[in-house]
Structure 1
Amino acid sequence: MAVAFPMATIAGRLPGTNFQVCLAKLQNGTFGVGMDVGGTDNQGNPVDVANATGITYSLCLQACGERQEPFEFTIFSQQFSAFLLPWLALVSQLPFGSNDMLVNLDSVLTTVGSPTLAAYSLILTVLNNRWVTRQFTQYTFPNVRDAVRILTSLQQSPIRVVKDDGFLASLIVLSQNDKWWSQLAEEIDYSHNWSISAATSIAWVVIAYVFSVLDTFIAGVDTSIHSNGLGVGSLWLWLLPIVVGWLQFSPKCDAALLKKAVAHANDLAYLATDDGKSVLLKDKTDIRAIDLTLTDVDDLHRDEKCTSPVFNYARFFPMFLASGLALMLQWGTAGAAFVQAWYTPTRGLGCRSLAVLIYAVLSTTVWMMLVTSSILTHYASNPQHRSEGHVIHEGEARDEEGQALLEDKAIRHRSTARWISIMLRRLGKLIAGFNAVWAVTACFCQFGNVFDNCFCNSSVFSLGKHAYSVITLQDLDFWIIQSAWIGSVFLAGATAAIYVLFANFLIEPPLPEIVPVATE
């Protein structure tokens, strides 16, 4: 039996509301005549229906219904291919490093769900790199530069450095340990660095974004204004400096390879003894000067054990510069998308601008929750909370019973901090996962005209009972839209450029000077 398909479906256009038809009915007097029927100008002022270019929200529901504009596959595919697909492909260039696919998926969702956290972790890593370098500026031993390079390369891992009893000093000073440095440097001499694949992906994104922006302004504002993806491109622009930054920093984050490399090198390490001799470290003790703690993962330190760079927030303490740059990148790119949606008629807070605002707010919330979690983790993990000062401050007796009570109180505090830290991390990850899905879904809804309905087009959230929907654009509208869109593109681009410039200024600290060893 032959099946007949509607021509609209074959052409990739599904049935929906046609707002131009609704406006024509209004202008023809179908719903009455005069200024009190529900016709408006593009500023929401009541006008005679014969001159109306907009319609009140209440009349829109009556005349047009609650359905969206028809889904048009041609517009959807063009906008999706130009403004979203390149960014989704670029996500694959982020460094992950775990051998567990679920952990890598967690990294993807956390990064996409909280660009604030991703930007914060990157700058924090760069700043920590400079801090490590400064700690070694006072040393002039031949291996000091290797020490800086290796320690900074391992900062994506849960590294443990033992400085007591000459462990670290022996590793740097003893000539027998030269092999340790060369062995470890050789085995971790891999990087998530620039490659043809990475360069091609970035070039594709940049070229696609530039051509899409130019095409938008050259072609001008048309009837597909609400499904235009320019704001989507600005919203995702944060991903470009994050990917470029990690490629420049070249993090070592393959957990299995790093563990193996450190273990092999530690078999060659020597330790200086009190009698001036040196012994093979593995024959004397199980302690190592530098080691990785990737096993025995508990809920409190779960993110600290992950080698994916997005979790570096859990390994370092906050710095104001990292926070400022992260917030700037997030709100600069999201703000650009928000501006474009806000100034697209009907101007105000509608579904599109609210979707962007929710994404940015949740991203920032996740960042705050996870950073707070890391601070509480440090507190809960530190058992050395001296109680003497507290006793003196409170004027309490220095007896064993008082000390026991204070120690018990400290234990309860650390237990509470541990519980809050775990809950914050879990809830933050859950919100980040939701936010990642929300971002992609919101883009699909915009390209598919899902937001193109009476409610969303009328900016009900900000206009309330005065909400109205602009159907026919006027010359002033075109000028305002184009000005806002140009400004939003520059805002997003400038924000990303400033972030990249700061990262480049900080990414290569000067290495310590080496004083040659005198030979007879």
Structure 2
Amino acid sequence: MLLISIEHIVLIFAVIIPTLSIPNVGGLDYSDCAKIANQTYLKAPNNSFLYNQQGELTGDSSQAWGISYQACVDLCTTEANSGSYNWSFLSSGVASWLLPWLALTAQLPFATKDKTTNLMALLLAVGSPSLITYSLALTVFNARWINRTFRQIKEINATLHRPLQLKAIKAARAILIETQHIPIHVYNGRRREIAQLVVHPQNWNWWCSLRDTILLTKGKWTYSLYAQVGFVCVSQLLAITVFFTSASSDSSIGIGLAINSLWLWMIPVVLGWVYVGTQTDSNSIKAALIATNVPVLGPERNVSGEFIGIRDRTTFNDLGTNFQDSSDSHESHSNGRPQQQQDSRSINFTADPGILITEHGTVEERMNSESSQTTHASLSEDIEMRDLAEDFSISNTSTLTSTLKATEQQSQPLLDLEEAPMFRPQTFLGFSIAGDDLEPGSIFNYAHVRSHMNTVKHVAEAFVTFTKRQKAQIPVVSGKEWISNQDYWDENLQGTAEEMSRYISHLGKDVPNIAIHAPASAGLVLNCITAAFVAIFLQWGTTGAAIVIGYKTPVVGLGCQSGSYLINGLASTVSWLVLVLSAYLSHRWSLLQETAQRRGTTSRPSPNILLAGLAVTTRLLGKSLAAANAAFVVVTSVIQFTGLYDNCWCDACIPSLGKKAGWVILFASDAQITAASKRAWVGGVFMGILTALVASAWVFVARGDELFDGDGQE
């Protein structure tokens, strides 16, 4: 969270100052226009240009509310009829209805890598509420998926009576939820790091320590948040209450009510991100991953400055983050190629047909029939599990054997990813193709959701396989006798790094290189679709309320006020959709790149250049549209208090009524206009507030911690 900063001040003044410099910004002088129209009517009473409340031509001046658009142009657009600023109205309107919302933007989640990206995150949030709501909803739905998955792993593990192991599983669940806003990936490598972190009993404390460190830097409910949200809510409620409970007949109050509804999306978004959880700094996860000590990692211990097992892919410069492990740099090579491990045919978890975590987050039993030479015959019987909320199905041994053989025939030797260029961001015309997939920050969750959920799958599958092999009494070392005595249980988990890697693989294969990207599962696609509905609901529930207020205020029709709200909503939605498309294209490009890398088809994979170009172009287009829309929404919120919209074209609602049917109110009093508008104003205010309340309530009940049986830290 940021306090009011230079970026906010620059944004506010950059959009307000140009507005105040527009000539004749005060609009029409309605009193003078009304006098001229009356004089014209008295001179030629048969000249039909008067309109009644219903927007119909009338010859009765006592029923007249206004004049035709053409008459307004002819009679009221002279220099003498130009109005001037009402500074009292401008200052009070902006202070009451807009500044509280601009101040609340300081509580939006940023935690990006630098001030420039913080400013871009601010512009994206203000310019596309759809985008930040979509990222929030995705974070919530994915947290539910993680909670549901690890609840089942916890229940399977509970029967082993291994408390420290169970704590590691619970800690892994919390880590994966709290790191959604950071581009991370699972790393095995030459030392088989993730395998040793999962299997080696002395390393289980690493998960707990990492979780505790991450939670220390998690954003919390602060007094500044309470103060700013409380000030916004109280000030807006008081303004609305005073209007609807007083005898006020100021028709301009509709402007404030509409602007208030337009910005109401900020309440559930700000509160939602604090509740869901964000980090206070973009480097906090990276620092925690590097600083958390690993008790035992093969013959070597954790060296300060290294990533161990889980790595932060954030790029902080044009060269990108160097992911090479210092201990791996000494790996021997032959003829310029990396020396292969014991098993050169490594298999990607997610790409294999024997996947363990289903698309809906349930755990499915798939064990390698060749993982132990001594326990094959009874494996299916030994690993029979009781049914949980979702069934844990067990594949036939012969089917698994044939699947494994087919997979081995199709597999290609992998290049050593430590030496591969895929870890460094590639560019198109100087712009990163991966784009926001490598950017830290909550608003960018829409971009790295696929890679993060792939990371979740790898970690979850490792713990599932690790747990079930213990229940099947299969030790790490193949052929070794299982020790059932709890006092000596840990001896079953001793072995080489490669053996531990095979132990957490459901196919019993050593996997030194784990893919960062994988095709999205149906469950993730469903989460994206549902999150899109949440984004549309909040965006158009609040923007729609503002449109209703502006549209239904006489003259009824789509004018400059309601039209500007419509443009804002459309620009927000389109920029969000374009950015989501860009994220998909970037993901697709990265997936093709990694696939080519794994197959060893080329030393520097170059997937479809058109795909790379589209990914970059759509990202630039989406961000530019969102930034322009952020400036537009602030400008349009300000200028409505300046009188710039008080002109014949805007007041006559020409966009919807046209020049022939358009008319301008001149003779109706504020009390008459207020009486005619009040029902629409009440409906619009109720619609906006109800939308914000429903969205807020949804966030507070949807994260899904209860799916993990309410367990906290242990």
TM > 0.5 between the two?
Answer: yes
What is the CA-CA distance between 1:163 and the residue it aligns to?
6.4
Give the alignment partner of residue 574 of structure 2, picking from 333, 342, 365.
Answer: 365
Name the % identity: 30
Distance in 1, matches of 2:95 and 2:643, equals: 16
2:123 aligned residue = 109
1:53 aligned residue = 65
Give the alignment partner of residue 433 of structure 1, picking from 627, 636, 659.
Answer: 627
Q: Rate the CA distance shift 1:14–1:180 in 2: closer, same or farther, 3 A.
A: closer
Q: Rate the CA distance shift 1:214–1:511 in 2: closer, same or farther, 3 A.
A: closer
> Which structure's residues are more often helix, by fraction?
1
Give the alignment partner of residue 563 of structure 2, picking from 332, 338, 354.
Answer: 354
Q: Tell me whether 1:244 sits opposite 2:271 in the alignment.
A: yes
What does the per-residue CA deviation read over 1:317-351, in whole Å, with 9 as the maximum and x for residues that have no partner?
A: 55221010100000000000000000111110100
SS where residue 156 of structure 1 aligns?
A: coil
1:7 aligned residue = none
Give the alignment partner of residue 374 of structure 1, picking from 574, 579, 583.
Answer: 583
Q: Tell me whether 1:291 sits opposite 2:311 in the alignment.
A: yes
| Partners of 1:26 and 1:32 within 8 A in 2 | no
Larger gyration radius, structure 1 or structure 2: 2
Supply the AA of the counterpart residue of 2:181: Q
What does the per-residue CA deviation read over 1:50-70, in whole Å, with 9 as the maximum and x for residues that have no partner?
A: 333201111111111177643
SS where residue 45 of structure 2 aligns?
A: coil
SS where residue 229 of structure 1 aligns?
A: helix
2:437 aligned residue = 304
Give the alignment partner of residue 49 of structure 2, picking from 35, 38, 48.
Answer: 38
What is the CA-CA distance between 1:222 and the residue it aligns to?
3.3
Give the alignment partner of residue 235 of structure 1, picking from 262, 271, 274.
Answer: 262
Q: Which runs of 5+ in 1 are unaligned?
A: 1-12, 272-277, 388-402, 516-520
Distance in 1, matches of 2:307 and 2:221, equals: 36
Distance in 2, matches of 1:204 and 1:355, equals: 27
1:459 aligned residue = 653
Q: Rate the CA distance shift 1:501–1:163 in 2: closer, same or farther, 3 A.
A: farther
Distance in 2, matches of 1:369 and 1:440, equals: 22
What is the CA-CA distance between 1:307 and the residue it aligns to?
1.7
Note the 1:183-202 alignment, pairs <5 A.
Answer: 183-188=209-214, 189-202=216-229
| Partners of 1:314 and 1:371 within 8 A in 2 | yes
What is the CA-CA distance between 1:30 and the residue it aligns to?
5.9
Q: Rate the CA distance shift 1:287–1:83 in 2: closer, same or farther, 3 A.
A: closer
| Partners of 1:38 and 1:56 within 8 A in 2 | yes
**Worse-superposed segment, 164-173 or 123-132:** 164-173
Q: Rate the CA distance shift 1:14–1:158 in 2: closer, same or farther, 3 A.
A: closer
Distance in 2, matches of 1:459 and 1:221, equals: 26
Give the alignment partner of residue 300 of structure 2, picking from 274, 277, 280.
Answer: 280
**Worse-superposed segment, 96-105 or 466-475:** 466-475
What does the per-residue CA deviation read over 1:436-462, in whole Å, with 9 as the maximum and x for residues that have no partner?
A: 000000011111111111111110111
Q: Tell me whether 1:28 sits opposite 2:48 in the alignment.
A: no
Give the alignment partner of residue 618 of structure 2, picking from 424, 431, 446.
Answer: 424
**Worse-superposed segment, 252-261 or 172-181:** 172-181
Note the 1:21-170 alignment, pairs <5 A.
Answer: 21-29=32-40, 32-48=43-59, 50-51=61-62, 52-65=64-77, 69-136=83-150, 137-139=152-154, 140=157, 141-162=166-187, 167-170=193-196
1:506 aligned residue = 702
SS where residue 556 of structure 2 aligns?
A: coil
SS where residue 241 of structure 1 aligns?
A: helix
Give the alignment partner of residue 239 of structure 2, picking from 188, 191, 212.
Answer: 212
What does the per-residue CA deviation read over 1:383-425, in whole Å, with 9 as the maximum and x for residues that have no partner?
A: 37989xxxxxxxxxxxxxxx99xx89xx886321111011101
Distance in 2, matches of 1:238 and 1:514, equals: 29
Distance in 1, matches of 2:46 and 2:52, equals: 11
Q: Rate the CA distance shift 1:102–1:228 in 2: closer, same or farther, 3 A.
A: same
Q: Give the TM-score, by structure 2 length.
A: 0.62
| Partners of 2:25 and 2:643 within 8 A in 1 | no
2:592 aligned residue = 383
What is the CA-CA distance between 1:197 and the residue it aligns to?
0.6
Q: Tell me whether 1:175 sits opposite 2:371 in the alignment.
A: no
What does the per-residue CA deviation read over 1:243-298, in whole Å, with 9 as the maximum and x for residues that have no partner?
A: 00011112125222221221112x52534xxxxxx443548xx7731111113155
What does the per-residue CA deviation read over 1:444-486, in whole Å, with 9 as the maximum and x for residues that have no partner?
A: 1111111111111110111112110122337775444110011
What is the CA-CA distance between 1:494 and the residue it aligns to?
1.2
Distance in 1, matches of 2:594 and 2:207, equals: 37
What is the CA-CA distance between 1:382 and the residue it aligns to?
1.1
Q: Tell me whether 1:344 sits opposite 2:553 in the alignment.
A: yes
| Partners of 2:27 and 2:645 within 8 A in 1 | no
| Partners of 1:71 and 1:449 within 8 A in 2 | yes
SS where residue 67 of structure 2 aligns?
A: strand
Supply the AA of the counterpart residue of 2:291: H
SS where residue 315 of structure 1 aligns?
A: helix
Give the alignment partner of residue 468 of structure 1, picking from 663, 678, 692.
Answer: 663
Q: Rate the CA distance shift 1:168–1:133 in 2: closer, same or farther, 3 A.
A: farther
What is the CA-CA distance between 1:432 and the residue it aligns to?
0.4
Distance in 2, matches of 1:300 and 1:316, equals: 16
Q: Rate the CA distance shift 1:436–1:15 in 2: closer, same or farther, 3 A.
A: closer
1:19 aligned residue = 30
Q: Give the TM-score, by structure 1 length.
A: 0.84
What is the CA-CA distance between 1:310 and the residue it aligns to?
0.7
What is the CA-CA distance between 1:223 and the residue it aligns to?
4.6
What does the per-residue CA deviation read over 1:59-87, in whole Å, with 9 as the maximum and x for residues that have no partner?
A: 11111117764321111111111111110
Distance in 2, matches of 1:365 and 1:262, equals: 37
Supply the AA of the counterpart residue of 1:159: I
Note the 1:488-503 alignment, pairs <5 A.
Answer: 488-503=684-699
1:415 aligned residue = 609
Distance in 2, matches of 1:429 and 1:23, equals: 46
**Worse-superposed segment, 71-80 or 159-168:** 159-168
Distance in 2, matches of 1:459 and 1:328, equals: 27
Supply the AA of the counterpart residue of 1:174: H
What is the CA-CA distance between 1:155 and the residue it aligns to?
1.3
Distance in 2, matches of 1:168 and 1:44, equals: 72
Supply the AA of the counterpart residue of 1:294: T
Q: Rate the CA distance shift 1:386–1:82 in 2: closer, same or farther, 3 A.
A: closer
Q: Which runs of 5+ in 2 are unaligned?
A: 1-23, 158-165, 321-424, 427-431, 451-524
Distance in 1, matches of 2:591 and 2:655, equals: 48
| Partners of 1:127 and 1:506 within 8 A in 2 | yes
SS where residue 664 of structure 2 aligns?
A: strand
| Partners of 2:250 and 2:674 within 8 A in 1 | no
Distance in 1, matches of 2:442 and 2:149, equals: 22
Supply the AA of the counterpart residue of 2:448: R
